[in-house]
Structure 1
Amino acid sequence: MRRADLADADCGIAQALGVLGDWWTFLIVRDVAGGTTRFDALQRELRVSRRALTERLAALVEHGVLRREAYSHHPPRYDYLLTPKGEGLLPVLVALQDWGSRHVMGDGALTATALADSAEARRVRHLVPEGCFALEDVEVAAGPLVRLMREFRPHVVTTYDEEGGYPHPDHIMTHKVSVAAFEAAGDPERYPELGEPWQPLKLYYDIGFSKGKIMALHEGMLAAGLASPYEEWLKRWDDRPDKGPRITTRVECADYFPVRDDALRAHATQIDPDGFWFHVPMELQRHAWPTEDFQLVRSLVDSPLPESDLFAGVRETAHAR
């Protein structure tokens, strides 16, 4: 098929490839998103010929993906910056980064234990556009959550750990905002315009992945004569931290696992209903690891560890309030 035919095809993917039809173009958008915006710097990073770079930059400007902003008039020199149309490509680049890391550089397993300062996490953060949630000021972003805490008056708050579960920029920001709001909601001197103070009593981090859990599910699959989706993941675990020792609270909730999975499937644009998350049969999950696990990181009530209830110690204090 000729390029012109592809670009004219009645298909959004084909139309997009009419604009972004070679790998240099994607790499230019990647580097501009990461802050490399000048011609010489782009050429140095990409090691592409000046002619090829000139042609692709001109095409991206023509298609409205990039815009030029002069930083020198004599001689004329320009920064190449993403337009709103160009910023719309960032989720595509993040998806390509994830796919390449998992399926080309890896074995297809989700790298859910990657560290927040890992190369993978840094590459994704470089693709985060200005003005997105992950780059908001924490003090500003925490305000709406403080208001909701004061309105709904929760006793227990759960959130991601400092790595966001895995280092998705929005997950890490959610962690920061949740912790900030937990600390501020009960302070009358902070956000006084957002309602009467209310202090939640316990703060937990969700521990979704521990080596013990992955081993239990892996061994359960093998015992059932099924292929385990965790085999290669476990082979690469040696250089990764295990969050298992951080667990303080295990809540038996196997009867609700189908509800949990249905909630995950509701992320229709992000979750493949036949994908990695759903390879382990429900009954095997219930038998091999029937709990959801948490780390208690802040408590204003007496609750001996380990726990089996997120509300341990809360009921007595709540009645007294």
Structure 2
Amino acid sequence: MVPSIPCLSIVIPAYNVAEFIVPAVESALDQTFRDIEVIVVDDGSTDATPALLAELAAQRNDIRLKIIRQMNCGLSAARNTGIREARGRYIGFLDGDDLWRCDKAAAHIALMDSDHGIGFSYSASEFIEEDGSSTHRLLRPDTLHPSLHEMISRNHVGNGSTPVVRRSCFEAAGNFREELRSCEDYEMWCRILWLTNSIAVGLPEPLTFYRLRKSSLSFDVDRFVSQADMALDIISASMPAVPRHVINRARAEHYRIAARKAVIAGKNDRACAMLAHAFKLRPQMFLTDLRALAAFASLAIPESGLRKLEHLILSLRPKGA
């Protein structure tokens, strides 16, 4: 019997995530919306990830689950493999160390079925600790209806586990750029908005659980900035009508993000350098963007106090600001 074509394909790229892969896959399989397939792309893992996936597949015995193993080629390549294997008219993405809330698929499908002009949708996320416990902190989109310029200025999708994309968008705009080892999703969302007539729409509910891992403390600031600059170079070259000030604003935003993460990693010198770059590109951001002020304050405030300050500052922002 030939399986019916599912409405939604959930693609899960996985690389050395043995501690987290089983709950990630189960969160996809256990969606209240049942018309799905789950495609796990093991990108050459060298830990117990392959064995755990095989054990899970045997235990669940669910025809909706498909596991693919390939040589390690990077996150973009793993996602692209999933896209090629996907049969659904919608394709969602879930990183192998994150989780979907059980009603996420249902919420996205209801939204996108209601408006065929929506090319992709995304949601707020809840941060969880490495052990899965709640941090009681949310990552909310700044806007639920971003324009192309707004998406270039800031990745409103938030992280790689929030989006659900209409298959036709990939058919029109192509797949993820495999030469980008970071910021590949950001470039993809901008490209879809540039090359198609589709719009992006966000859901305010935290439908994704984004895991904070200890390994993130070793964040490579220079690598992130290099990849962000490469993504923006691609965007600038392929979208010549985009004003220069939009590109500069985006670069300044990436430097601000890098500075914030450099502080968390204990790299204050690099944080200062990143903030200096941001100020040179867009000095007004330190007067108009409360996150920039929080990044500046982070150089003098301990991490625990910083989180409280950022929470307070962001709570003061007008909605949609």
TM-score (ref. length: structure 1) = 0.29
1 or 2, which has the higher strand percentage?
Answer: 2
TM-score (ref. length: structure 2) = 0.29
